[in-house]
Homo-oligomer: A and B are copies of this chain.
Amino acid sequence: MSETKAPWVTYRPELQVLDCTIRDGGLMNNHKFDPELVKAVYQTCVEAGIDAMEIGYKGDKKLFSTDDFGPFKFSDEEEIRKIVGDNDTDLKLAVMADAEKCDYKKDILPKSDSVLDIIRVATYLHQIPIAVDMIHDAHEKGYEVYCNIMAVSTASEPELDQALEVIAQTPCSTVVVVDSFGALYREQIDYLVKKYQGFATGKEIGIHAHNNQQLAFANTIEAIILGCNRIDATMMGLGRGAGNCPMELLIGFLRNPKFHERPIYKLLQDYFVDLRKEMEWGPTIPYAIGGLLNQHPRAAMACRADEENKDKYVEFYDKCTSET
């Protein structure tokens, strides 16, 4: 038979998984994780065969106080080394640098002085010129660079096209489709992935999904089917609001024998069951409403943090729809 009947039984060796548990999850607790947990996530990434781990942000200390935020809001070299030592493993290490929130010329060290491998430049569409400068800066310092265009579900078509055209000219290796609001359905993922592939020829396309409508894993699968080779996920889906694509589901789905899921179950059992008692994340009704309406999760986060009103779904829906 010439036709492949069940392509899902095989795998693409070039597909790489990036864990962003501590980075995206840090948005739920001002990055105040127990260092033991951060170390456990790092160890698990190594044991599970995950390709890269994003440990935090490179936040500008002129904008954010170290009193208010934990160390991985800033990801100073010495803080990273407390967790990973010299990172004598195959796991690549990444940080996220937000446009306008990172003093990148100063705070991102030359690669030769850092244990980091990847800088992920995060940008909204109105910040593209800064992002381009950040990409060049990180590339010249010796890093592999990603560009994450955030909140793409709210982008206007000509602006997004223009941004992709500009980013395609930069030396970033990867452009990531980022569904910040968990608003995208499968056909929209198709549309965007194909668009990114059309503009960024020669670059890898990544996917970073949020789980507001319980579609993070499914949209990630869809992106993989379409050829995306840079895949974001987090342990137990930990991440802002409704969280991200759960790593345990993704690794179960991927067929590359280099990946192992048992260490992930161990991590979840040993750390995440307790973590969940302290902080909430994951898909609940207010996040579903926010995703459906293509709104920033901050309203749903405020709703869920309000013990009295966190399950007043009708009031929340009415409020969200009266504001649109």
Interface residues of A (CB under 8 A from B): 5-8, 185-188, 191, 211, 213-219, 221-222, 225, 236, 246, 248-249, 252-253, 261-262, 265-266, 268-269, 273, 285, 288-289, 292, 311-314, 317
Contacts and interface: CB of A to CB of B under 8 A. Distances in A.
A214 B214 contact: yes
A187 B248 contact: no
Nearest to A286: B265
A40 to B, nearest CB: 14
Contacts of A188: 8
A187 B188 CA distance: 17
B312 A269 contact: yes
Which of A187, A214, A219, A249 has most B Cβ within 10 Å?
A214
Contacts of A289: 252, 265
A214 B253 CA distance: 12
Contacts of A187: 6-8, 225
Nearest to A315: B269
Contacts of A248: 285, 288
A105 to B, nearest CB: 41
Contact of A262 (B268, B311, B317): B317
Most chain B CB within 10 A, of A218, A273, A288, A289, is at: A218
Nearest to A270: B314
A152 B285 CA distance: 30
23 contacts: A5-B191, A6-B187, A6-B191, A8-B185, A8-B188, A185-B253, A186-B221, A213-B217, A213-B249, A213-B252, A215-B218, A218-B218, A218-B221, A248-B285, A248-B288, A249-B288, A252-B292, A261-B317, A265-B313, A266-B313, A268-B313, A269-B311, A273-B311
Contacts of A311: 269, 273
